[in-house]
Structure 1
């Protein structure tokens, strides 16, 4: 319509851009942790005193810059993290996340186990690590390992202090501020490159966007599982899942309530009660002129046959299904892999679905 102004969202964005020119309203700090400046208060205070007397030096380093030529081979547009491969203790370790806001360098226990380094000892650490969710993780210790970046002749090797964490992660390790300071790295996620001085020249590491996206999806999946469920034992060996991010008081009340109402839940298929047809009955409407389809019998491996027989026997035992001697329609079962190596038994109803009219207004 003529005479109308821009949408409200555009007005809000313009107003917020104008407000960005106003004086700042405060400082928002990031909480991380680790033993970057020392594992005890005395060491951290000493580091603070050194920073007070710190003088800016002027090293004769080459100029590090990024230009259009650095975008060659980069899939754009993108919003990918910078994930590189570095050499640690003569192992080429991929899936290393370059994180300029991390106060420590992190190496995960699974990575160190695969490296099979002999004769090393972890130095104990008492300072916990804090993630974005605020949960504390107690490190296993810290270890100094040689890290090599780049290729000859533009290659740099330095000893890096890694904090060892025993936690599931899609990454093999994290390079934080300490390493970026020691190597004098300059990172550009946009250009998917990490550059660093090598004498009067510039060395470089390229990011792997495909691996970065795989890692990101893995992290989202793991964090989703952490915040989504938490297992509580409330009846013998049975388990019930509740939200893991509930407040302690709310969680305790919820568990008490669930324990008081255990009879509401069906803990096995034997406890599922049937519904009489007089109460509810489901019927299929078939298109006129459709010929019934009898699928040929499919053959499965012995291990899958065993799963199918167990599932069918369980349903027959509780009366959920019954045997039919002369079926008009015949569909095979299908085993779909579940997590933890288990199987879900389904039925291939594709032929039957094709013979049924589509409901334009299905029930949600």
Structure 2
């Protein structure tokens, strides 16, 4: 077995070595990229490049107040903690618990046992050919795409929006995963330290 090569310490004022290679981001799903191979390639080119223009684009004025977190928001928790950000939401007529909020996921995921418990007919599934790739390199082919109406929080400070999920048939500690598409659509701000999600409402 080859022994790992020891790296010689860099002398002061010596030019740093160039990187050995690139480690790209992990993406998957249809919500951002689309289901076709061409659409996914286009999406990858966009997220892996930075384009500069001569003028700074004007930002749309936001009527919503700024969203932030205070130390008192975390007082109900035991610190230190390394808990995941897990919430409960209303999906249709059901309260769905153990929903993981994952800023790093490029897709919303719904697990098949939840779909069965909700009694939704499989005819509502839209076929997809966009596989998901996990950290171990395992490819998971979704059973389809389904759109569900989601309500978060209590009236009157609540939002109700349609959420597009990729449905997968595999074991998980969670019932669903809310990823970047939904968090961005809701203008949601998350804090893993406070274990809290905040978003503007009417």
* Residue 181 to residue 55, structure 1, CA distance change in 2 (3 Å): farther
Aligned counterpart for 1:41 among listed residues 37, 50, 56 = 37
What's the offset of the Cα at 1:55?
6.6
Hey, what does 1:62 align to over in structure 2? 65
Stretches of structure 2 lacking an aligned partner (at least 5 in a row): 1-15
* Residue 156 to residue 121, structure 1, CA distance change in 2 (3 Å): same
* Residue 35 to residue 74, structure 1, CA distance change in 2 (3 Å): same
Residues of 1 paired with 2:30 and 2:181: CA distance?
Answer: 11
Normalised by the length of structure 1, the TM-score is 0.45
Residues of 2 paired with 1:56 and 1:184: CA distance?
Answer: 15
Hey, what does 1:319 align to over in structure 2? none
Per-residue CA shift, 1:282-312, capped at 9, x if unaligned? xxxxxxxxxxxxxxxxxxxxxxxxxxxxxxx
Secondary structure of the corresponding residue to residue 154 of structure 1: coil
Residues of 1 paired with 2:45 and 2:29: CA distance?
Answer: 19
Hey, what does 1:134 align to over in structure 2? 137
Pairing of 1:1-364 with structure 2 (within 5 A): 28-36=23-31, 37-44=33-40, 56-118=59-121, 120-199=123-202
What's the offset of the Cα at 1:68?
1.3
Normalised by the length of structure 2, the TM-score is 0.78
What's the offset of the Cα at 1:146?
0.5
Per-residue CA shift, 1:8-65, capped at 9, x if unaligned? xxxxxxxxxxxxxx9x957642213111220013444676899989874332221110
Stretches of structure 1 lacking an aligned partner (at least 5 in a row): 1-21, 200-364
Residues of 2 paired with 1:60 and 1:44: CA distance?
Answer: 34
Which structure has the greater CA radius of gyration?
A: 1
Structure with larger RCO (C-alpha < 8 A, sep 6+):
2
CA RMSD of aligned residues (A): 2.9
Report how many aligned residue pairs link the two structures.
Answer: 179
